Structure 1
Amino acid sequence: MDKFTTITGVAAPMPLINVDTDMIIPKQFLKTIKRSGLGVNLFDEMRYDDDGGEVPDFVLNQPAYRDAQILVAGDNFGCGSSREHAPWALLDFGIRCVIAPSFADIFYNNCFKNGILPIALPQEQVDRIMEDARNGENARITVDLEAQEVWLTDGSRIPFEVDSFKRRCLLEGLDDVGLTLEKAPAIEAFESRMQGERPWV
């Protein structure tokens, strides 16, 4: 998993509430177990019309936001079914951070396990970031995980809080496998000891 320390880039404004995981990545794209290749179908039913053409008004189809790394969303983002394909699709598109007033719990935790930083902030602070994001390429927002701050274009900073363990995992690029591998010497020592004590096992 890639480390997350600081990112600076364009933030895409999506002021929709209750964006569920089926909206993020529709069910027909859940056949794969690969984490790559899903970005093209991110928000598929909103991004494309019935003929497969892009919907010009959808934010991620607009030139200013095609390379957005930050998504500023509405309340209860990631609700619905617990599909891990949702953060996979966001990450494959290039989204490394989602800022919203609240998140569904399973989606929130899945983000950390896949290298995405979800930031929950009060509505009025999300509104400030959303307004900045509407300036498109003229607005470069910075998210600093080490300092736990969002820096707006005017230089103002909005602090946020993240669980210390989840923060460490992102800063060090540790997913569940990486956390297990940190214990490799202890696991190997235990297995060696058990082989001596219980060779029949």
Structure 2
Amino acid sequence: MTVTPDDLIAAADLCRETLAPAVDADWTAPAADIGQTCRETIDHVVSCQTFYASHLASRAPGPLPRLRKHDPDAPVEQVLDLVPAGAAVLAAVARGSGPDVRAFHPAGMADPEGFLAMGCDEIIVHTGDIAAGLGVAFAPPDDLCARIVTRLFPWAPSDADPWPTLRWANGRAPLGDRARLDPDWYWQCAPLAEWDGQVNRRINPAAWSP
């Protein structure tokens, strides 16, 4: 697979390692310019992992209610610990799912690799958002960023560095002379063999839209 369960675990560990030194910072600060606080964003990261895992585990043909309800009073340290915990659940479900398994995501009927790639994307990109809001340095591995781009954004340019390209594909920043994308960007979470050659667009606004 282009993106593996081990990649998801590594991304989650990197998130916690990057943000743990800033647990005493002001987590009500905006996470970049995505319209959420840093605290809301890390809660979202955790919820994504359990949302993906529940759909993949049950082979859900349609949307399921979310398993996790945010506790706004939980210490940030505890929420950070839930990032690798949630990733471990999704990774385990993906390992136990055959490549032909499909489950619902609003972007399409995803296979296990698609869910893993989306899980990595949520963790890496939102860690960057939070790090920007807290003033923490963050530089994810180029190899992982490149594989996320390849799996989820087959239309993305291949002539730029992977981390800036991943940020561009997620609508975070311009890339060279390419303008910042509108909030209707989306993933190719179904297998790449089924990609129709068109740029995927979301119908409903993203939750993080400015």
Per the TM superposition, whether the score is higher than 0.5 is no
Larger strand percent: 1
TM-score of the two chains, using structure 1 as the length reference:
0.33
